[in-house]
Amino acid sequence: MPRVSPVIILPYSISDTSPEYSGPGLAEPEDPDPHIRNGAFILAKSIDVAANGAGPPRHKARPRAAALERDLANRLSRAEGQLRGLGRMIGDGAYCIDVLQQISAARRALDKIALILVRDHLETCVADAIAERGGRAKITELIGALDRFLN
């Protein structure tokens, strides 16, 4: 299975010494990334992450159904489009409340993807582990993942 290159969006902030902003707490990055686009840092790099945060990529023992793969890919494409749209909104000086509303929509889209993945994990990985009497470790792993996701 090919490695995935995730796109991580980090907020770009205006320097507190900037004439356009006089509020406290925001500082411009010391070494601006060349991938800054429309008010967002876009950091894309290949990473190999396992449940503990490092290590080689892991793969499902039982592949996802083709329909589920397509559904997830479509949902991710829409979420990516929403994030790109947010960058354009920031760059175009869109009204703050409109930007916040779009951020909320993007979060909901990503949360739905996460819920679908949790359901798939429970129905396949955890169910298989329980059938093989290794369920405790999978349940502990899932609890840790949900804790990180929800916090």
Please check whether residues 143 and 98 belong to one and the same domain. yes
Please check whether residues 139 and 71 belong to one and the same domain. yes
Q: Secondary structure of 102-130 in the HEC alphabet? A: HHHHHHHHHHHHHHHHHHHHHHHHHHHHH
- Write down the pLDDT at residue 120: 95
| Predicted confidence (pLDDT) at residue 38 exceeds the cutoff of 60 | no
| CA–CA separation, 78 and 80 (whole Å) | 5
The first and second tokens of residue 133, run together, are 């009497």
- Write down the pLDDT at residue 56: 86
How many domains, the chain? 2
Please check whether residues 52 and 68 belong to one and the same domain. no
pTM: 0.61
Mean pLDDT of 97-123: 95
How confident is the model over 43-59, as pLDDT tens digits? 333 333 444 556 788 88
| Predicted confidence (pLDDT) at residue 128 exceeds the cutoff of 50 | yes
What is the extent of the structural domain holding 19?
1-57
| CA–CA separation, 28 and 43 (whole Å) | 16
Please check whether residues 71 and 114 belong to one and the same domain. yes
Please check whether residues 37 and 76 belong to one and the same domain. no
Please check whether residues 100 and 66 belong to one and the same domain. yes
